[in-house]
């Protein structure tokens, strides 16, 4: 589904405007946070981020499910690749639960996608106190 349509569904259902949304895919994991592996939109601000999940395979529908993670609850971030090219991020919380998701820097027909992904990584980097750009560490 087109990312614009996903964002519109969320904004209409929540009656709010998303700040910096980008599309992710939840990876199957044992993190006890998000069950299954739905398509999702991640939106973030200065305090944390929300993951809005969608039901369906082809026609995605937002039914009101979202997961909120505060930056202060994060203990560790893992970046990597699987299948030789798919980039992922694993966010591990202080209580040892985690969420893992894949992402891409490019989405057709949504010019802000790469900008928002870069902003998110810069926000995560600023929390760690490192000076290297996290996106560069992941590679292309």
Most confident of 7-16, 30-39, 121-130: 7-16
Cα(65)–Cα(54) distance, integer angstroms = 8
Return the CATH fold of 3-116.
PH-domain like (2.30.29)
Query: Average of pLDDT values for 58-76?
Result: 94
Q: What does the angle CA 41 – CA 5 – CA 65 come to, to the nearest 5 degrees? A: 40
Query: Average of pLDDT values for 79-83?
Result: 88
Q: With a cut of 90, say whether residue 98 has pLDDT above it.
A: yes
Query: Average of pLDDT values for 43-58?
Result: 94
Alpha-helical (H) ranges within 3-139 are 3-14, 113-128, 134-138
Query: Average of pLDDT values for 22-27?
Result: 93
- Which one is predicted more confidently, 57 or 93? 93
Cα 40 vs. chain centroid, distance in angstroms? 7
Confidence of residue 60 (pLDDT cuts 50, 70, 90): very high
Helix, coil or strand: residue 78? strand
Tokens of 26: 């939840």
Residue showing tokens 């591990």: 92
Confidence of residue 85 (pLDDT cuts 50, 70, 90): confident
Where in the chain are the domains?
A: 3-116
Cα(45)–Cα(139) distance, integer angstroms = 25
Q: With a cut of 90, say whether residue 6 has pLDDT above it.
A: yes
Quick one: pLDDT at residue 88?
93
Q: With a cut of 80, say whether residue 139 has pLDDT above it.
A: no
Cα(129)–Cα(23) distance, integer angstroms = 26
């Amino acid at each position: 589904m087109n990312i614009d349509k996903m964002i519109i569904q969320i904004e209409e259902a929540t009656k709010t405007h998303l700040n910096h949304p980008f599309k992710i895919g939840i990876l199957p994991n044992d993190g006890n946070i998000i069950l299954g592996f739905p398509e999702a939109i991640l939106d973030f601000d200065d305090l944390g981020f929300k993951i809005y999940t969608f039901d369906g395979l082809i026609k995605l529908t937002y039914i009101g499910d979202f997961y909120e993670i505060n930056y202060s609850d994060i203990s560790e971030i893992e970046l990597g690749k699987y299948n030789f090219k798919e980039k992922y991020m694993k966010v591990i919380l202080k209580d040892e639960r985690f969420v893992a998701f894949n992402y891409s820097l490019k989405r057709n027909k949504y010019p802000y996608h790469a900008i928002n992904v870069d902003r998110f990584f810069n926000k995560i980097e600023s929390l760690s106190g490192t000076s290297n750009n996290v996106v560069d560490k992941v590679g292309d």
